[in-house]
Amino acid sequence: MSEVRNILIIGRTGNGKSTLANVLSNSWNFLESSGSISKTKNFQSETFEWGETKYRVFDTIGIGDTQLSKATILYRIAEGINFMEGGINQVLFIVGGRFTEEEVNAFNLFRLVLHESRILEYTTLVRTKFSRFKNSEKCREDNEALLRENEEIVNSFKKVIYVDNPSIDTDDEEERRINGNKRDQSREIILNYLKDECNDNYELECWSRISLNFSSYIGRKLELERKNGEENDSFFLKLESARNELAQKVSTLLQREIPSINDNKRSWWSLF
């Protein structure tokens, strides 16, 4: 096992990914945002210690970023994963409220990005922005509500953890103190959990090859956009050819690594 335990944070923009990364690492190195536009444009990481264990937390670009295509999001996440030496010890999938259609889409994209079914064995659902996170009964009630909304998805996670990380960027000293205490308590809840759940790591063996194909496709797309200036029939035909080439390469790689990919091959096409 790697000496540093890698924690990957992933989820929809505005659910508190970067805030959680700051809380866990006890830093301000991740830009926090509550809107629909992600402030995390690149893969960010920070190393910290808890007890006698060293962790490295990775904040990915937000799934659902309104300014980026799904293809770009896929590539940037895949690219970042390749820099995680030693593999992934735990994935924290962030949900800021109800399991809406947008959350379901984010979860499906998450599975598609990693596309290895065993990754769910290393994935924990973190319910953020839950002000009653210290009340076990309220947590249980919310968990039951999540199950009613999408039992299959919620049960696919290893565990559901409740936290609240309100902003401490305020001029009100008492509010800042209260919110800071909530963040400290949330940090302790998650890190105490991770202490026992990060003993194994998961290597994404096929992504080093797949991400190269994403890079090639996006580079080709940008090249076509520069040459054409305006989108026209010729542009779309060339882009379709590049997209088909990528889909075939990725499908071939994944079929080699994961035979069951045949059932989901069409899902790749809609992303580009």
- Which one, of 128, 189, 122, 190, lies nearest residue 156 by Cα? 122
Q: Give the predicted TM-score (pTM) of the model.
A: 0.74
Radius of gyration of the chain measured on its C-alpha atoms: 20
CATH fold label, 5-197: Rossmann fold (3.40.50)
Residue 161, strand partner residues: 126
Tens-level pLDDT at each residue, the chain (272 residues): 458 899 989 888 788 888 999 999 999 888 766 544 455 455 788 999 998 899 999 988 777 655 666 656 666 676 666 667 777 889 899 999 888 887 887 787 777 666 555 778 889 999 999 999 999 999 999 999 999 988 989 998 989 999 999 999 889 999 999 999 999 999 999 999 998 887 776 665 555 555 555 556 666 666 666 666 655 667 667 666 766 666 566 556 555 544 444 444 444 444 44
Q: How far apart are CA 197 and CA 192, in angstroms?
A: 9
State the first-to-last Cα distance of the chain, in angstroms, to the nearest integer: 36
| In the chain, domain spans | 5-197
